[in-house]
Amino acid sequence: MSKRVSTENVDQSQLPPVALTEEEHAKDHKMSPLKIAMWVAIALLGGMAWVMLAIVRGETVNAIWFVFAALATYLIGYRFYSKVIERYITKPDDRRATPAEIRSDGKDYVPTDRRVLFGHHFAAIAGAGPLVGPVLAAQMGYLPGTIWIIVGVVLAGAVQDYLVLFFSMRRGGRTIGQMARDELGKIGGTAAIIAALLIMIIIVAILALVVVNALGESPWGVFSVAMTIPIAIFMGLYLRYLRPGRITEISIIGFVLLMAAIIAGGWVAGTDLGAQLFTLERTTIAWGIIIYGFVAAVLPVWLLLAPRDYLSTFMKIGVIVMLAGAIVLVRPEISFPAFSEFAGGQEGPVFSGPLFPFLFVTIACGALSGFHALIASGTTPKMVEKERQTRFIGYGGMIMESFVAIMALVAAISIDRGIYFAMNSSAAATGGTVEGAVAFVSSLGLVGVELTPEMLTTAAQNVGEESIISRTGGAPTLALGIAQIMSAFGGTAMMGFWYHFAIMFEALFILTAVDAGTRVARFMLQDAIGNVVPKFREVTWLPGVWMTTAIMVAGWGAILIMGVTDPLGGINTLFPLFGIANQLLAAIALAVVLAIVAKRGIFGWLWIVILPLAFVAVVTVTASLYKIFSPIPAVGYWANHFAFKDALAAGETSFGTAEGAEAMEAVVRNTLIQGTLSIIFVVLALIVLVMSVIVTIKAFRNGGGPDMEDAPVPSRRFAPAGFITTPSEKALEKQWEDVPEVLKPTEAGQS
Amino acid sequence: MSASIATLWSHFLRGVKAVRWWVTNVMGDRSYDVYVAHQRRHHPHEKILSEKDFWRAKYADQDANPGARCC
């Protein structure tokens, strides 16, 4: 028991220091010969791994080299590049209190242990995105995607996340939209908010499309994914009425129930009645998700959203650990080429358009994801305990997501390349039949690919599906890859279980994103309408909530239905829009960061922001221009639009892969919407970029600009900055342990 | 020999405890404890909500201010 001391009577200056001195930092980070040797070894290992991936071209390449190349590059990027950003751009000061410390309220603003907050932040940023994009990008071979995921995260994605987190923290946890208005003015700010709203709709629609494609004609999948709803509701009731706050306990129970649901799914799908009941058309599933999306978004969070989110977080961490372990243990041989036949062309069957810029929009999450700017400027900055920790949480968290993307890529390309194309080419190309798929894949003339009908039927049989032809959207391909890797432990008998396990966790992440995205979008819309009709701002006014929710659900629902019924094979034409939208948000976030850094008067190191901003701006604008102006119908929305329109006018009843006038009219309609969205996106992006450049040039002329940061408040607590506690930090922590109990700061994560 | 097994065992127990600490904190089991500690320290004269009411208030708050989940 410590002595009873009243807080008022103690001189606060008697507290130990709240930050390390410059000398202590220098001492901790001094390069001893041993450390130098270690970093040389890491660099050599990474270099060797890259050589194995990029230059040594055997028949196959071992998956372990992907892991080494990624880990070594991440370590070097984290230790050196993010340190440069810390030293010259963010310049954190641990003597300043964070919003969590200043406004500490025990609920939203809670100084949280850095390792715990890392987990929180990671669970909020990582979902199905990094599991889907890399799979589709494998059409071009493994190397372009691998380089973009690993190098992109170090120079772009992690930089964005870290800087947005840091600057939002310095502004009391303000959102990216508010920061855009503060830094870029009213026009730039409004454009940023409209873009964010549109992007939310697109992202929800396309993620939902991934689920629909994975569940179409799959009774096993439909049953096990549908079961997540009653399981989540049970968890919600348990937490509300039986044992409030026992989240880990109920998550473990929920997890066991989910496993049971997957096993039961195999059995249900095996019975005639079950197969009849749960074999659903894609359109039916799409309508199911739309209705579900509306209901889930108006139900109270405790009943469905929160418990499913717990389950999803629990699975996220578990699955990633499992997948990493399995890849390292199994070390599958990859037979995909570094660059495929489609790397140089524009009309690959999985997604169309040339490598530059479309590879960089197809893989968004995992390399650079603008959506993270919403998270890094939302809850996380309100929970940071010490300023220096933002590097570990922001930069480190994004590196972790990149690693997930690499593992997804490796798992997906461990399958046969012929099967890959049979699964990922649209039904319009394969006809949805084994013979059609074999004929189509052989017509592609791929080197080293000999796809036989038996390969396709055996693969489908192994995972307990009727067929795996044209299961587009990435999720089924990844699930097959995971099932194959895991079969090293459980044999082929277990493949059906692992396949549906993988489908289920992807669906779980996506349904959470659909539900949460609809709520956030509704909230933004309520706020916007509230400017005119103030009553809409009241979050408890149910008609307002229902109306705005319905508008948002109608928005993404229309795009979803359009994708499901698209005669050209939805995901193939829509996925680029998803990537463009996400990268556009990244451009907006980086543009805001650029203005902030320029106003700080830091011009010598501004290139650190300009580099990813210029790249992503060029990528999104070029991709949009291709989508708007390309004369190749497979690439340009408008080219396709007018081609079909002309064909209709000429009285033709079939054109390209669309049969019948009705299908052709659908194409005309869909391309009109897609083309219009492309135009809106590029215009919004250009507005934000121009505003940002104007602000930056103005700041350059004046040697800086007004500082929008909150006034500094002295901190009264200490915590280490990174994952590993340094010797000086340990010594200082010891001093804090001797502080009388009553003076010790409270925080989340203290045992 | 038995001494080294004992140390190994204690290392193992420490590891289990650390994982448990991390998981329960990330999942949110400790949110109520954090709130109670905060109230005791900063608002000693205010009433402290029961655990059940604390969670009700927390979810009501999430209903009013939705947070995003990424893709």
Q: How far is A308 from A296, CA to CA, in rounded Å?
A: 11
pLDDT for the residue A661: 86
Task: Indicate whether A544 belongs to any domain.
Answer: yes
How close does chain A come to B46, measured CA to CA in Å?
13
pLDDT for the residue A743: 78
First-last CA distance in chain A: 16
DSSP secondary structure of A121-182 = HHHHH-SSHHHHHHHHHGGG-HHHHHHHHHHHIIIIIHHHHHHHHHHHHTTTT--HHHHHHH
What percentage of chain A's residues is helix, strand, coil (to nearest 5)? 70, 0, 25
Residue B42 in contact with partner chain A when CB distance is under 8 A: yes
Q: Phi and psi of A435, rounded to 5°? A: -65, -45
Chain A contacts of B27, Cβ < 8 Å? 247-248, 251, 310, 313-314
Nearest to A136 by CA among A678, A634, A574, A631: A574
CB A124 within 8 A of CB A380: yes
Contacts of A567 (CB under 8 A, 6+ apart): A428, A657, A658, A659, A663, A664, A666, A667
Hey, what are A118's tokens? 């890392």
pLDDT tens, A485-529?
A: 999 988 888 999 999 999 999 999 999 999 999 998 998 889 888
Asked if B35 lies within 8 A of A107 by C-beta distance, the reply is yes
A335: CATH: 1.20.1740.10
Asked if B32 lies within 8 A of A245 by C-beta distance, the reply is yes
How close does chain B come to A372, measured CA to CA in Å?
7
Residue B49 in contact with partner chain A when CB distance is under 8 A: no
Hey, what are A281's tokens? 């058309």
Whether the CA torsion A701, A169, A583, A619 is positive or negative: it is positive
Task: Indicate whether A376 belongs to any domain.
Answer: yes
Q: How far is A614 from A612, CA to CA, in rounded Å?
A: 6
pLDDT for the residue A441: 96
Task: Indicate whether A225 belongs to any domain.
Answer: no
CB A142 within 8 A of CB A135: no
Q: How far is A372 from A121, CA to CA, in rounded Å?
A: 10
Q: How far is A330 from A323, CA to CA, in rounded Å?
A: 10
Chain B contacts of A119, Cβ < 8 Å? 22, 25-26
pLDDT for the residue A7: 43
Nearest to A365 by CA among A131, A165, A135: A131
Task: Indicate whether A154 belongs to any domain.
Answer: yes
- Within chain A, which residues score under 70 in pLDDT? 1-13, 569, 746-751
Domain edges within chain B = 2-64
Provide the whole-model pTM: 0.94
Angle in degrees, CA A281, A287, A289, rounded to 5: 105
pLDDT for the residue A4: 39
Return the number of CB contacts < 8 Å for A and B. Answer: 138
Angle in degrees, CA A19, A21, A26, rounded to 5: 125
Minimum CA–CA partner of A131 in chain B: B71
Minimum CA–CA partner of B35 in chain A: A106
Largest Cα–Cα separation, chain A: 92
Hey, what are A583's tokens? 């990268």
Minimum CA–CA partner of A311 in chain B: B27
Instruction: Pick the residue of A116, A117, A164, A202 with the most B CBs within 10 A to test the interface with B by mutation.
Output: A116
pLDDT tens, A156-212?
A: 999 999 999 999 999 999 999 899 999 999 998 888 888 888 888 998 999 999 999
Our count of domains for chain A comes to: 1
pLDDT for the residue A713: 95
Q: How far is A704 from A463, CA to CA, in rounded Å?
A: 60
Give, in order, the Cα–Cα distances in Å from A297 to each of A25, A67, A290, A302, B63.
Answer: 48, 39, 11, 11, 9
Asked if B29 lies within 8 A of A248 by C-beta distance, the reply is yes
Contacts of A192 (CB under 8 A, 6+ apart): A176, A177, A180, A181, A184, A588, A592, A684, A688
**Which of B24, B41, B71 has its CB closest to that of A207?**
B71
Chain B contacts of A299, Cβ < 8 Å? none
Owner of token pair 């040039």: A697
Asked if B69 lies within 8 A of A105 by C-beta distance, the reply is no
Give, in order, the Cα–Cα distances in Å from A466 to each of A321, A431, A435, A461, A471.
Answer: 31, 15, 15, 7, 11
Side chain identity, residue A119:
G
How close does chain B come to A741, measured CA to CA in Å?
11
Q: How far is A361 from A367, CA to CA, in rounded Å?
A: 10
CB A589 within 8 A of CB A164: yes
Question: Range of A483's domain?
Answer: 33-217+280-702
- Within chain B, which residues score under 50 in pLDDT? none
Chain B contacts of A310, Cβ < 8 Å? 27-28
Nearest to A623 by CA among A355, A405, A424: A355
| Helix-helix angle A434-443:A453-462, to 10 degrees | 120
Chain A contacts of B63, Cβ < 8 Å? 300-301, 539
**Which of A127, A239, A522 has its CB closest to that of B69?**
A127
